[in-house]
């Protein structure tokens, strides 16, 4: 696995790079050699955020943690990523799905210590998509008190999702066809 380490508002020291290589390096056993692991360190108001993103064939494995200590943030994010990887690998092996997809990204051994969680969809909602701008969708989202809102983007005509992010900002998800 190769690491792409970036710092935002922070100079990433050689010592920190060594820690990242050592801590995340133990996850290399799960991936092929050419897999790229993107690590971003940032700081704001004496808080350190570590974000790790690892692209896999049909998606992405991602985690972020923020604490007052950059090394603690790194430790926490490594734990989260490792749990996600083990869970993802186990599900793929147990369901015998996407064998090519699995072997493209991961090794061959399942983790027996990870319990498979059942996904339980308890409600299905149907609604009319109304064309609106992302700003209007954010207002509608606030009115209904949700953290996300599905709408038809009046500018593009595509289905899109606005969502509330940490720090009272918003995100927009638009699929590519």
Q: What does the pLDDT read at residue 105?
A: 58
Using pLDDT thresholds of 50, 70 and 90, give the confidence band for residue 115: low
CA–CA gap between residue 125 and residue 107 (Å, rounded): 38
CB 73 within 8 A of CB 67: yes
More confident residue, 116 or 75: 75
Alpha helices in the chain (DSSP H): 14-25, 70-95, 99-105, 134-144
More confident residue, 71 or 166: 71
Per-residue tokens: 20:
């990242």
Edge to edge, the sheet with strand 131-132 lists 131-132, 148-153, 159-164, 170-173
Give me the chain's average pLDDT, please: 83
Using pLDDT thresholds of 50, 70 and 90, give the confidence band for residue 97: low
CA–CA gap between residue 53 and residue 143 (Å, rounded): 33
State in Å, rounded, how far the first CA of the chain is from the last one.
Answer: 30
Q: What does the pLDDT read at residue 30?
A: 83
pLDDT tens for residues 3-35? 999 999 899 999 999 999 999 988 888 888 888
Q: How many CB atoms within 10 Å of residue 23?
A: 20
Q: What does the pLDDT read at residue 95?
A: 63
pTM assigned to the model:
0.58
Using pLDDT thresholds of 50, 70 and 90, give the confidence band for residue 39: very high
Domains of the chain (ranges; CATH) run: 2-105 (3.30.160.100), 131-173 (3.30.505.50)
């Amino acid at each position: 696995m190769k690491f792409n380490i970036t710092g935002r508002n922070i100079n990433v020291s050689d010592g920190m790079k060594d820690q990242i290589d050592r801590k995340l390096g133990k996850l290399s056993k799960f991936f092929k050699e050419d897999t790229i692991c993107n690590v971003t360190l940032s700081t704001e108001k004496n808080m350190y955020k570590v974000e790790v993103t690892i692209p896999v064939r049909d998606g992405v494995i991602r985690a972020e943690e923020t604490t007052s200590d950059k090394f603690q943030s790194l430790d926490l994010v490594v734990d989260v990523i490792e749990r996600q990887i083990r869970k993802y690998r186990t599900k793929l092996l147990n369901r015998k799905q996407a064998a090519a997809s699995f072997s493209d990204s991961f090794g061959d051994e399942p983790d027996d210590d990870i319990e498979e969680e059942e996904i339980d969809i308890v409600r299905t909602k149907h609604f009319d998509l109304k064309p609106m701008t992302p700003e209007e969708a954010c207002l509608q989202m606030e009115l209904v008190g949700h953290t996300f809102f599905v709408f038809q983007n009046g500018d593009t005509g595509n289905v899109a999702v606005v969502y509330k992010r940490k720090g009272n900002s918003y995100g927009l998800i638009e699929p590519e066809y």
